[in-house]
Structure 1
């Protein structure tokens, strides 16, 4: 695939300056003028040195209002930094609107796009395991793309309702049925939509496999989804696929490797919707929390809240439909659990998770079960064990309708947290339910 025609590529050092860049320079100037080191400033505002360093980086994400307000106060800027941060936020939103409507910055199907610079794949070579080199007759019609999208919706719905298991088999079958479409002749105005649709289906199949601990299949499908994203030049699909790969990596290889993937997903975040940015920041917060970097976790959650406040669902790609208010509350609540435990302050995380549970309806029983289990475990550790037992029993009952190895694993964590409270009858009953081999074996295969 060749590079698309157009204006010259802007190198990093030639990128037009933004108000956010001006803010970063002003923070650095005022700090140096006050003869204060980054470490000292960090201690003055109650954040880590690494986060202060990030506020002075140009071409970085915009710091949260709370952090800038603290720095403004510490450096006696008399509101100048706060005002500049507000101006930077307005500039950021204006740039997003311009990027969304300008043909010069819109990735068009059929052309090589900037995303390909970062691709680890040979984009001229279609993965043979998904689309063997056979004779494919006919061109792809828009109705074919709609069929792929409908198959993806069915697979995603089945996974949300029942977990992996049968959903994994069905999603993989649909993927292998539709993947060969990427070898057929495609009109320029259909090409990108096709590759995004097939890539999205591959991502759903990957997560269904991951949910039942079929990690090899999950990795293979994820890589094909990433290939589709890069071949289409879709920054949105690329970011979402890398985010899913980061989730899987956190589960199998630890938070440090996952953090590297999520920061790769954030490359050129100016091309992403506010909802996608919120999702990426939430995951980054989860990985920072797992690494014990609590100050940075709090700052990243605040950043994610800012992005989510800017969300416009109608502008999101279809695969981001799951990231609604309930998902945001549950995911940021999950990120804050290690912080709440470290500081023995349940209120840092519990209210968000509780709100998520109240908003997670019948369409997302798996998400609700995760939230119930996490809140029960947090409450069991630093809250009221009786309340934790009540929440835990709700989770255990719901889990019987789902086939998810990850839910089983989280229930085992709750079981271990219950041990020190077994003298309480309600907790003892929960522990028996969680450790009863007969009950666990009733989970669908």
Structure 2
């Protein structure tokens, strides 16, 4: 009779968290320890010890595990946290402790990432702290005071009782993060801000609130959870993103907001597809479409395009084309006046870019006609303005990759050059990975000057 697996304690330390993530992704991919060990060429006993935080995982092994398990870089990121903690502790043991300076800010030593701050009584448990405080101990901010967010001098002040203006602040912050994330990507300062404000928003749920403000507060936190999750997804902080999206879905359900609930499930679907689990992504998209009669045509189109992307990754040609058709039919009925204001981003450019990604997989993986995806990518690139520079860069890069794989490499190189002009200004892991894919495809055309120059520019951009 097999022994039961040891219960892991991911909140104990970064190394424990890394081990728990290895086990999580191994099971997600349906692999036994011995099978995974063989794929990365280590002993099963070493892998078991890494999962139990009884042995160190090197950078090269973390990168191999990410590649085999298709995590999107989760384990390499976790390895970096382990290294930072080790270096920090080594530094602390090598220098004398001079004691606190007068007027200095005291930080609370955390467990999982050594950056956790103390939360007020009644705040969410370790699962939420682990995700939302993972990269920042930042305090809350009002839209007027970004400096206080980046360098807080005191714990966040919570209102004695929720008021309408507090809820309006949550919406204003969500709008700010959404705008900056789409223009610049989810890394850098945008990521820092996103991590910090989620701590504040979650604690607001424990503040006394009048009955008529309960639903609006939960809807506001759901909206913020979606934009924070989107930012964390873009910077490959996948666990943070998953929990933010799930919190958003729960808050939206409690608020009775079917549109926000659908948006949360749409992002859960897209993230699952991105990290290599299209089956789960399809399930999330279907969950979002529950009671589709309560959703606007635009939101239905958004979810149908997520279904199409899942089917595309599965290589299911007929189901992908049917889902793209359903998305087009829904979008044809769109009326901006019926949509919530935060859906204004889903315009013609966004719709064509989303559906083009599904058709891209059919062209590259199944040999289908690339012209259908190419035309949609062209509409997306032409239609996205500077406010959505990341979407324009990603669609342009994918369009170039499509033509590099199944079209004219000279045209692909020219389109890739334009996409690089946008991508070079972003802090987006997704955009960077798409550039790597384009660079790999361009290798097929060694000796073609345009493709060689494009590869050089991609390499320089990624290094920068």
* Same fold per superposition (TM over 0.5): yes
Give distance in 2, aligned partners of 1:137 and 1:419: 58
Q: Which residue of 2 aligns with 1:211?
A: 234
Q: Measure, in 2, the Cα distance between the counterparts of 1:242 and 1:278.
A: 13
CA distance in 1, matches of 2:455, 2:243: 37
Unaligned runs of 5+ in 1: 1-124
1:352 aligns with 2:376: yes
Give CA-to-partner distance per residue, 1:220-250, whole Å, 9 cap, x none: 2222212211221222211111111111111
1:364 counterpart (375, 388, 400)? 388
Matched residue, 1:146 = 168
Check the 8 A contact 2:123/2:203 in 1, yes or no: no
Deviation at 1:175, TM superposition (A): 2.1
**Residue 388 of structure 1: CA displacement?**
0.4
Q: Say if 2:124 and 2:203, in contact at 8 Å, map to a contact too.
A: no
What does 1:48-197 correspond to in 2, within 5 Å? Answer: 127-128=124-125, 138-165=160-187, 166-197=189-220
**CA-CA distance at 1:219 after TM superposition:** 2.0
Question: CA offsets per residue over residues 36-88 of structure 1, 9 Å max, x none?
Answer: xxxxxxxxxxxxxxxxxxxxxxxxxxxxxxxxxxxxxxxxxxxxxxxxxxxxx
Mapping of residues 216-235 of structure 1, within 5 Å: 216-235=239-258
Q: Per-residue deviation at 1:126?
A: 7.0
Q: Which of 354, 369, 377 is the matching residue for 2:401?
A: 377
User: Is 1:277–1:304's contact at 8 Å kept on the other side of the alignment?
Assistant: yes
1:261 aligns with 2:258: no
Change (3 A) 1:271 1:344: closer
* 1:365 counterpart SS class: helix
Q: Does 1:339 align with 2:336?
A: no
Deviation of 1:216 after TM superposition, in Å, equals: 2.0
Shift of 1:297: 1.0
Structure 1 contact 339–348 (Cα < 8 Å) conserved: no
Structure 2 unaligned residues grouped into runs of 5+:
1-121, 130-155
Shifted more, 345-354 versus 137-146: the winner is 137-146
CA–CA distance in structure 2, aligned partners of residues 346 and 224 of structure 1? 38
Distance 2:161 2:457 in 1: 56
1:393 and 2:390 are equivalent in the alignment: no
**Which residue among 424, 431, 434 is the counterpart of 2:455?**
431
1:431, distance to aligned residue in structure 2 (A): 1.3
> Could you tell me how far 1:204 is from its partner in structure 2?
0.9
Change (3 A) 1:126 1:232: farther
- SS of the equivalent of 2:386 reads coil
Deviation, 1:290, is 0.9
1:154-207 CA distance string (max 9 Å, x none): 111111111012211102212222332222333343322221111111111111
Q: What's the Cα RMSD here?
A: 2.2
In 1, the alpha carbon distance for the partners of 2:372 and 2:310 equals: 17
- The C-alpha deviation readout for 1:236-281, integer Å capped at 9, x for no partner, is 2111111111111112242112111111211111111111100000
Moved over 4 A (4+): 134-137
TM-score calculated relative to the size of structure 2:
0.64
- Structure 1 position 332, deviation (Å): 0.9
Task: Choose which of 408, 411, 430 in structure 2 pairs with 1:406.
Answer: 430
1:137 positional shift? 5.8
Distance 2:418 2:407 in 1: 17
**Against the structure 1 CA distance between its residues 272 and 173, is the aligned structure 2 distance closer, same or farther, given a 3 Å change threshold?**
same
**In 2, Cα distance between equivalents of 1:233 and 1:344:** 42
1:277 aligns with 2:274: no
CA contact (8 A) 2:123 2:202 kept: no
Would you say the 8 A contact 1:235–1:271 is kept in 2? yes
* Deviation of the 1:344 alpha carbon: 4.4
C-alpha contact (below 8 Å) 1:255/1:288 kept by paired residues: yes
Name the CA distance, whole Å, in 2 between partners of 1:259 and 1:251.
Answer: 12
Using the TM superposition, give the Cα deviation of residue 293 of structure 1 relative to its aligned residue in structure 2, in angstroms. 0.8
- TM-score, structure 1 length as denominator? 0.67
How far did 1:135 drift?
12
